[in-house]
Amino acid sequence: MGIKTNIIDLANFKNLSEDTIKEKMLKAIEQINKGEVIAFPTETVYGLGANAFNETAVEKIFKIKGRPADNPLIVHVCSIKQAESIIDFNDFIYKNNNNKNTETIRDENQNKKDNINFQFLSKKVLLDRFQKAQSLWPGPISFIFPAKKDKIPSIVRGGLSTIAIRLPDHLLAQILIKNSFPLAAPSANISGKPSCTNSIDVINDFNGKISYVIDGGHSVYGIESTVVDCTSIIPTILRPGFITQEDLYPIFSDIEYSDALNYNIIEKDGSLKSSPKSPGMKYTHYKPEAKVVLLGKNEDKYFLSNIAKSSSKKIYMMKPLDFSFDINNNEPFKNLKNKKILILKHSDLFDPLFEIIERFSSDTKIINFLDSYSFAQKFYALFRQADRENREYIFIEPYGFSGFELAIMNRLQKAMDEIWTF
Q: Determine the Cα–Cα distance for residues 156 and 104; give it in Å rounded to an integer.
A: 16
- The smaller minimum CB distance to ligand TXA, of residues 8 and 45, is found at 45
Spatial contact of 289 and 394, defined as CB atoms under 8 Å apart? no
Q: Determine the Cα–Cα distance for residues 45 and 198; give it in Å rounded to an integer.
A: 8
- The smaller minimum CB distance to Mg ion, of residues 187 and 232, is found at 187
User: In the complex, what is the shortest distance from the CB of residue 45 to Mg ion, in angstroms, rounded to a whole number?
Assistant: 8
- The smaller minimum CB distance to ligand TXA, of residues 129 and 157, is found at 157
Q: Which stretch binds ligand TXA (CB under 6 A): 18-26, 29-37, 181-189, 386-394?
A: 181-189
- The smaller minimum CB distance to ligand TXA, of residues 5 and 71, is found at 71
State which amino acid sits at residue 47: G
- The smaller minimum CB distance to Mg ion, of residues 153 and 186, is found at 186
In the range 170-199, which residues lie near Mg ion by CB under 5 A?
187
User: In the complex, what is the shortest distance from the CB of residue 187 to Mg ion, in angstroms, rounded to a whole number?
Assistant: 3
User: In the complex, what is the shortest distance from the CB of residue 246 to ligand TXA, in angstroms, rounded to a whole number?
Assistant: 19
Q: Does 164 bind ligand TXA (CB under 6 A)?
A: yes
Closest CA to 200 of 388, 419, 391, 421: 388
In the range 35-64, which residues lie near ligand TXA by CB under 6 A?
42, 44-45, 47
- The smaller minimum CB distance to ligand TXA, of residues 165 and 342, is found at 165
Task: Provide Rg for the chain, Cα atoms.
Answer: 23
Spatial contact of 376 and 412, defined as CB atoms under 8 Å apart? no
User: In the complex, what is the shortest distance from the CB of residue 76 to ligand TXA, in angstroms, rounded to a whole number?
Assistant: 6
In the range 53-112, which residues lie near Mg ion by CB under 5 A?
none
Q: Determine the Cα–Cα distance for residues 362 and 373; give it in Å rounded to an integer.
A: 30
Closest CA to 30 of 18, 20, 42, 22: 22
Q: Among 57, 72, 235, 383, which residue interacts with ligand TXA (rule: CB under 6 A)?
A: 72
Instruction: Output phi, psi for 393, to 5 deg.
Output: -135, 145
Spatial contact of 275 and 396, defined as CB atoms under 8 Å apart? no
In the range 223-242, which residues lie near ligand TXA by CB under 6 A?
224-225, 227, 238-239
- What is the 3 state secondary structure string of 124-180? HHHHHHHHHHHCCCCCCEEEEEEECCCCCCCCCCCCCCEEEEECCCCHHHHHHHHCC
- Strand ordering across the sheet containing 118-121: 103-104, 92-95, 118-121
User: In the complex, what is the shortest distance from the CB of residue 201 to Mg ion, in angstroms, rounded to a whole number?
Assistant: 13
205 secondary structure, DSSP code? H
Q: Among 31, 142, 197, 262, which residue interacts with ligand TXA (rule: CB under 6 A)?
A: 142
Say how many residues touch ligand TXA, by CB under 6 A: 28
User: In the complex, what is the shortest distance from the CB of residue 335 to ligand TXA, in angstroms, rounded to a whole number?
Assistant: 32
* N residues, the chain: 422
Alpha carbons within 13 A on the beta-carbon side of 152: 32
User: In the complex, what is the shortest distance from the CB of residue 379 to ligand TXA, in angstroms, rounded to a whole number?
Assistant: 15
Residues of the shown chain interacting with Mg ion in the complex, contacts defined by CB under 5 A: 187
Residues of the shown chain interacting with ligand TXA in the complex, contacts defined by CB under 6 A: 42, 44-45, 47, 71-74, 142, 144, 157, 160, 162-164, 166, 185-187, 224-225, 227, 238-239, 278-281
